[in-house]
Amino acid sequence: MSCGLEELPSVLWAYRTTARTSTGETPFRLTYGTEAVIPVEIGMSSIRREVFHEEDNDDQLRINLDCLDEVRDKASDVTKKYQQKMNEYYNKRVKLRRLGIGDLVLRKVTTTTKNSAHRKLGPTWEGPYRVVHYSRQGSYHLKTLDGQKLPRPWNIEHLKKYHQQM
């Protein structure tokens, strides 16, 4: 399913004339200071077309351009409120995990730490490792059980607490 090159202008037009949730405005209006008339509106009657007066158009465009900074400021305020709302939504659901010094943890196997011989069926976690230092929120320095320090800190999203089976 490939999009032909001839469809690109239509896709870009749709993108530029669709209001964004985060700003409440279209990219076209934030750029040019006025709403675009979509091609469908040209052939049919609409309120915008009925109240359009060509002789007043240039004056109205100048007014819109003069007010563009205010429109952008309002969009910026809406964006800040939207980001705060999304941040609050995320923070309500996130559960902070903390590890203590001396805790045993497993480390997620990443593409840089993966043994190439294991391929798809290799382990997804390795360890255990011991937490030796906590540097900032979510960043932990580890060492192996035989005392070798790992060269860099690890983010908590790549670690999980190891529970020894008795």
- Tell me the pLDDT tens digit for each residue of 4-60: 788 888 888 888 888 898 999 999 999 888 888 777 667 777 776 677 777 888 888
The per-residue pLDDT for 144 is 93
43 Cβ neighbours under 8 A, 6+ residues apart = none
Q: Which percentage of the chain shows pLDDT scores above 70?
A: 89
- Whole-prediction pTM: 0.51
Cα separation of 161 and 100, whole Å?
Answer: 10
For the record, the structure tokens of 159 come out as: 């670690």
Q: In what order do the strands lie in the sheet with 159-161?
A: 154-155, 139-144, 125-136, 104-108, 159-161
Cα separation of 99 and 107, whole Å?
Answer: 13
Rounded alpha-carbon distances, angstroms, from residue 5 to 9, 10, 11, 12, 16: 8, 10, 10, 11, 17
Confidence of residue 105 (pLDDT cuts 50, 70, 90): very high
The full set of domains in the chain, from first to last, is 5-93 (no CATH), 104-161 (2.30.30)
Residue 147: strand, helix, or coil: coil
For the record, the structure tokens of 112 come out as: 């840089």
